[in-house]
Amino acid sequence: MGALCRSLLMNTKVPYTVALLIVGLILGFIHAKEDLGIYAGPSIKQWVNISPHLLLFAFLPPLIFESAFNLEWHMFSKLFSQAMLMATVGVVFTVVLVGGFLKWVLPYDWSWEFSFMFASILAATDPVAVVALLNDLGASKTLSILIEGESMLNDGTAIVMFLLFFDFSLGNDKSAGEIIEFFVQVPLAGPAIGISFGIATLWWLGKVYNDALIDISLTVVDCYLVYFVSEEVSGSSGVLGVVALGAYLAAVGKPYFATNKEVEHTLHHFWGMMTYGANTVLFVLAGVIIAVSVIRDDEYLEMEDLGYAFALYGFLNVARGTVVLALFPLLKRIGYGLDWRNAVIVVWGGLRGAVGLALALIVFEEHAFDQRARTLVLFHTGFIVVATLVVNGSTTGIILHALGLDKAGINKTAVVESLQTAMGERTMKIYLENFYDDTLGGADFDLVKEYVTSLRLLDEKRNQPALAEPLTPRATK
């Protein structure tokens, strides 16, 4: 299904994950209305009832690790201040704005604790589709890394805030000292665990030479073990732990993995397939869960809730725009800077995805909350996931083109032209030395140009009016 969607959308600006989500929605609606038989019914039923904690444990570590491990460290280190600003101050600001909207505008009469808990779910962005699209369209690498880095970090921040307000919503009060301890332990212990595992891994790899199976085994075990130890043993953030592990290995460990190009390529292709499989299953599963859950609990929903869902989607975009606008004076002065065109993509690229859906399922399964409130959280989260992926994800390429961000920059264009010229001149030198003779003539140069791209490009460049005479063997010689 994933391969089919990728094939059909290969030459479009629509991320294939959008198609997978729609396929999942269709499967879910059909499953909820009628039996799909032994070939699909039991399987879908088991997947729909998956534990949200298992959903996070199974799919999140490899997706987070792959993104962090494949970051270009020198660029990410420069952009870290921008990503961290968006992932901390930006997330808190978003939670405050969205929480106020849920409390004051929507007529659900939720408590402040419950409103902020739900706002924390909606604050976690998932840029998988947009980052892949930006790379395919040749957008600025700094823009892609900024959006991806912000997402990895704000997933951790949003989950930390969610856990805090989840406890408050259940009536578990915390003292000021406990809250301070919570905000110190949860964000800091995870990265410390991730870096510790990274150091141990590099020590191990220093004892091994050119063994792709060991490299792959260690990275897979590491990403899951760091997440497990951070979440279950230390009570800290597993997401931030895996981010720290991947970033540390990207910054320090690449020479350990690059001792042999074949081993490095094997590792790269393995993790590419790992994330492709996780994303494919995850987006289909998200569509199925959303569709089945909405139909199964439609008795707790009213027609007006659909209108409120549209209003919430619109306000989320406004809130993200407000946050980026408020932080823009700082964002354009730190890191590589940020101009208004890239800021537009940062705002529009704030997609919601699997993390938010899993957190909403955790709320849905907590029977201490009112049934209608639980159903509304899952319904609105599902609607936001679908809306941001289908609308924002599908139109990002159009906006990117309209803003001229899919064109190569001046520096990149100059480098490419310089390389093309150097290749043409080198090829011309080989032609003159081996295939041209003043007396006998040699090879047909016009025919050679048709088959040798570098010579043809050099000829086209020389034939421009402002340049020298057309390229011929005698003139060049």
Query: H/E/C letters for each residue in the chain?
Result: CHHHHHHHCCCCCCCHHHHHHHHHHHHHHHHHHCCCCCCCHHHHHHHHCCCHHHHHHHHHHHHHHHHHHCCCHHHHHHHHHHHHHHHHHHHHHHHHHHHHHHHHCCCCCCCHHHHHHHHHHHHCCCCHHHHHHHHHCCCCHHHHHHHHHHHHHHHHHHHHHHHHHHHHHCCCCCCHHHHHHHHHHHHHHHHHHHHHHHHHHHHHHCCCCCCHHHHHHHHHHHHHHHHHHHHHHCCCCHHHHHHHHHHHHHHHCHHHHCCCHHHHHHHHHHHHHHHHHHHHHHHHHHHHHHHHHHHHCHHHCCHHHHHHHHHHHHHHHHHHHHHHHHHHHHHCCCCCCCCHHHHHHHHHCCCCCHHHHHHHHHHHCCCCCCHHHHHHHHHHHHHHHHHHHHHHHHHHHHHHHHCCCCCCCHHHHHHHHHHHHHHHHHHHHHHHHHHEECCCEECCHHHHHHHCHHHHHHHHHHCCCCCCCCCCHHHHC
What per-residue confidence (pLDDT) applies to 306? 92
* Amino acid found at 81: S
Residue 467: the pLDDT is 43
Q: What is the pLDDT of residue 110?
A: 93
Q: Which two tokens stand for residue 187?
A: 């964000």
Sequence-ordered list of residues with C-beta below 8 angstroms from that of 358, at least 6 positions apart, any chain: 52, 53, 55, 56, 60
What pLDDT does residue 178 have?
79
Asked if 256 and 263 touch (Cβ cutoff 8 Å), the reply is no
Q: Which residue has the tokens 């709320």?
A: 363
Residues of the chain with pLDDT under 50: 466-470
Domains of the chain: 2-407 (1.20.1530.20), 411-476 (no CATH)
Residue 144: both structure tokens together: 């892609």
What backbone torsions phi and psi does residue 442 show, to the nearest 5 degrees?
95, -155
The pLDDT assigned to 465 comes to 52
Q: Are 280 and 20 in contact (CB under 8 A)?
A: yes
CA distance 226 to 447: 60
Task: Copy the structure tokens of residue 88.
Answer: 């901390």
Between helices 261-296 and 52-69, what is the axis angle to 10°? 150
* Long-range contacts of the stretch 459-467 (C-beta < 8 A, 24+): 459/424, 461/420, 461/421, 461/424
Q: Cβ distance 356 to 124 under 8 Å?
A: yes
- End-to-end Cα distance, the chain: 57
Q: Please answer whether residues 331 and 343 qualify as being in contact, where contact means their C-beta atoms are separated by less than 8 angstroms.
A: yes
pLDDT of residue 411: 56
Nearest Cα neighbor of 73 from 314, 327, 253, 262 is 253
Q: Which two tokens stand for residue 323?
A: 């946050």
290: nearest Cα among 211, 217, 380:
380
Residue found under tokens 């952009």 = 79
**Can you tell me the distance from the alpha carbon of 264 to that of 254, in angstroms, rounded to the nearest whole number?**
9
What is the pLDDT, as a whole number, of residue 469? 47
Residue bearing tokens 């970051």? 71
pLDDT at res. 316: 95
| pLDDT for the residue 174 | 77
Helices 354-364 and 371-387: angle between axes, nearest 10 degrees: 170
